[in-house]
Amino acid sequence: MNSFIFSSMEQYDYENIVFCQEKTLGLKAIIVIHDTTLGPAAGGIRMWPYETEQEAINDALRLARGMTYKNAAAGLACGGGKCVIIGDPKRDKNEALLRGLARFIQRLGGIFLTGVDVGTTLQDMEVMRQESPYIVTVPESWGGPGDSAGATAFGVFQGIRACLKERFGSPLPQGRAIAVQGVGAVGKELVRYLAETGAMVTIADIDQEKAQAVGAQYHVNVAAPEEIHRLDVDVYSPCAMGAVLNDRSLEELRCKIVCGSANNQLAEDRHGDMLYQKEILYAPDYIVSAGGVICGMDSMNPGGFNRQRAMEKVAQIYRTMGNVIAISQAQNIPTYRAADVLAEQRIASVRQAKSIAMGGA
């Protein structure tokens, strides 16, 4: 075994890496289980044409650990995991490959619960569900949450409200200037929530036709993609690509709050420190974008998915973001570090409780 694998696992204490291969199907997949202190590892299935196996392993490791923190901070009874498939989803994906992977997941006996991610769809999950009940992101008619974009947007909306409460004394978006970057599935739903509550919204998307259509639908302003982060607004909400908070963009920000659904918004951790120094309130993306996984895990309850129950849980992101802000202030640390503290404290407390239950010290 390559020492790179074990040294990578030891760095952040990963539990398992499972390599899945079926030559006749062209299947090459990696399942990473980071931490199961809180319960089974939960995370999506990503399909991507990685250039090297090491790149795929590194991505799976990073994403799995991120899910541990996301699930812990969201108050879910699950740890973190991830599956990546090496391949082009437009060319290499087929029913046999998906069902073959699902059988590998089934062999794990429920230690890994999974669903949609980049390169996979709800329809793919329907195919995989035929082989394993541990595929949890399926249509509501199958007992699952269906499309999670609305839930994710609702969670981001709650994060924005919590940040507005901290910065302006009121959580109401009414009259607040908010710039939304990216109006895909999540961004468009967020615009709807904001417009319905009276916010002054400006949007941008690299797909200009989509931006114009959403702008007309919700009667909001449309800006050029390269200008959206520079606007003088109360809230900048990145809902498209990652690494948007970097050396260049931070010099151009004129907002008071950053809160959006895009994953990995900080190009590097130091950019979170820079936001803190600039007194821009940053809502860590994994805190406010947890609505999708919250809904996915609700389908594991007896009786299957219940939308009201799930959305009530998503609404608690408002309180979670408030707790992150409180830790940041109490410990004089940036919010991205405060979010990690919140997650780590929960994991440690549950680990201690389990130790006591097993007769440990």
Active site (catalytic) residues: 82
Q: Contact, 323 vs 287, CB < 8 A?
A: no
Backbone angles phi, psi at 294, to 5 degrees: -60, -45
Nearest CA to 282 among 291, 272, 290?
A: 272
Rounded to whole angstroms, how far apart are CA atoms 112 and 105?
A: 7
Rounded to whole angstroms, how far apart are CA atoms 281 and 270?
A: 15
* Chain center to CA of 226: 24
Rounded to whole angstroms, how far apart are CA atoms 138 and 295?
A: 11
Burial class (CB in 10 A: 0-12, 13-18, 19+), 90: exposed
Question: Where do the H-state alpha helices sit in 143-244?
Answer: 149-168, 185-196, 208-218
Question: In the block, which residue shows the tokens 């199958």?
Answer: 142
Greatest Cα-to-Cα distance within the chain, rounded to the nearest angstrom: 62
Q: Contact, 195 vs 219, CB < 8 A?
A: yes
Q: Contact, 125 vs 115, CB < 8 A?
A: yes
Task: Count Cβ neighbours within 10 Å for each residue of 192-231 and write b for 16 or more, e otherwise.
Answer: bbbbebebbbbbbbeeeebbeebbeebebebbebeebbbb
Question: Where do the H-state alpha helices sit in 169-268?
Answer: 185-196, 208-218, 247-252
How much is the CA Rg of the chain, to the nearest whole Å?
Answer: 20
Both tokens assigned to 100: 């073959």
